[in-house]
Amino acid sequence: MPQQLRKITVVGATGGGIGSWILKGALEAGHTVSVVTRLESDTSSIPPGVAAIHRAAYDDVAAVTALLKGQDVLVLAIGFMAMKAVQGHLITAAAAAGVPWVVPTEYGSQTVVTDPLELLNPIFAGKAAFRKQIEELGVAGWIGVVNNPWTEFSLRRGAPAFGIDIAARKATLYDGGNTKLNTTTYPKVGRTLAAVLALPDAELAKYRNAWLHASSFHVSQRDLLASVLKATGESESGWVVEERSAEEVVAEAAKEPFDSRLLYATVARAGYGGDYNDKVVDYAALGIEQEDLDAVVKSVVDEIRSAPPPSA
């Protein structure tokens, strides 16, 4: 497919989170990539090849507008707790600068159809306001990246995430653990967005005010556990594996202010939106190769098992 490389500015690229992988993916794809970061941020992790590193207070709309003039895309990848306070100013600046595409901080799940969305509102509802803001400003189109739980991030988080605690050799499987869900690695999110942003105008137009579904793996909790056991050389008999009703876990987690099992148990529940395999972008057409689940899982297992035990 012919490519149309673009001028992309990424905000939120300094940490080790998704913004840094989006930056990497965009650079590797050949886009001209700039970074806008806060006045006080540490930029030492930003890789070479970036066109410019600009500093600005994110609520200084005039300053950010000046930095965004001439850019084709503004990608926002702001930490969840900070996003609500700062993202609106950056979107206002993008419109003032005439930037035609904004990728707002999404990078989540679309459990939009059913009851649990009510429960998940604290996590996802705040993001809708920014998509609405972009539409009302009428300058840019938004592209919302859906990637479900990030694979390595979630395996590292252990029990409250996919229910698999590699360090403690314990697993909690929801509804038998066989429900397929999509999960995406950090690098794949970056590569997917970069490839879509390199589509010619007519193709990219299909993503205007629309969702972009990325995925590395279409797996169940049991598939993930099997891959972990393969990486460790252990068998299930050496682990404590329990099965729980996803509905019960969701209800339990909903009572707490921030219990991430609410999200993970919903995503692992049949019919609640965690399996979006039929919507995933056409990776063959984008020229992006399938990753190896066992290799990704093993790298996390090695990391966790080689870490010193927490001190008492």
Give the interface with ligand NAP as residue ranges (CB under 6 A): 12, 14-15, 17-19, 37-38, 41, 58, 77-80, 82-83, 86, 105, 107-108, 147, 149-150, 153-154
CB-nearer residue toward ligand NAP: 154 or 216: 154
Whole-number minimum distance, CB 311 to ligand NAP, in Å? 26
Which residues, at least 6 apart from 284, have a Cβ–Cβ distance to it below 8 Å? none
CB-nearer residue toward ligand NAP: 5 or 63: 63
Helix or strand (DSSP H, E) at 116: helix 116-137
Q: Are 228 and 164 in contact (CB under 8 A)?
A: yes
Write out the E strands in the chain: 7-11, 32-37, 52-55, 73-76, 101-103, 141-146, 164-165, 170-174, 181-183, 210-213, 217-219, 240-244
Q: Are 10 and 175 in contact (CB under 8 A)?
A: no
Determine if residue 282 is left, alpha or beta; phi over 0 gives left, psi from -120 to 50 gives alpha, anything else beta.
Answer: beta
CB-nearer residue toward ligand NAP: 36 or 199: 36
CB-nearer residue toward ligand NAP: 145 or 229: 145
CB-nearer residue toward ligand NAP: 84 or 244: 84
Whole-number minimum distance, CB 204 to ligand NAP, in Å? 22
Whole-number minimum distance, CB 128 to ligand NAP, in Å? 12
Which of 23, 10, 40 has its CA nearest to residue 191? 23
Whole-number minimum distance, CB 157 to ligand NAP, in Å? 9
Q: Do the strands 73-76 and 7-11 form a parallel or antiparallel pair, or are they unpaired?
A: parallel
Whole-number minimum distance, CB 252 to ligand NAP, in Å? 21
Whole-number minimum distance, CB 189 to ligand NAP, in Å? 8
Calpha distance 137→130 (Å, rounded): 11
Q: By Cβ distance, which residue is nearest to ligand NAP?
A: 17
Calpha distance 255→252 (Å, rounded): 6
Altogether, the residues listed in the chain come to a count of: 312
Whole-number minimum distance, CB 45 to ligand NAP, in Å? 9
CB-nearer residue toward ligand NAP: 109 or 232: 109
CB-nearer residue toward ligand NAP: 34 or 154: 154
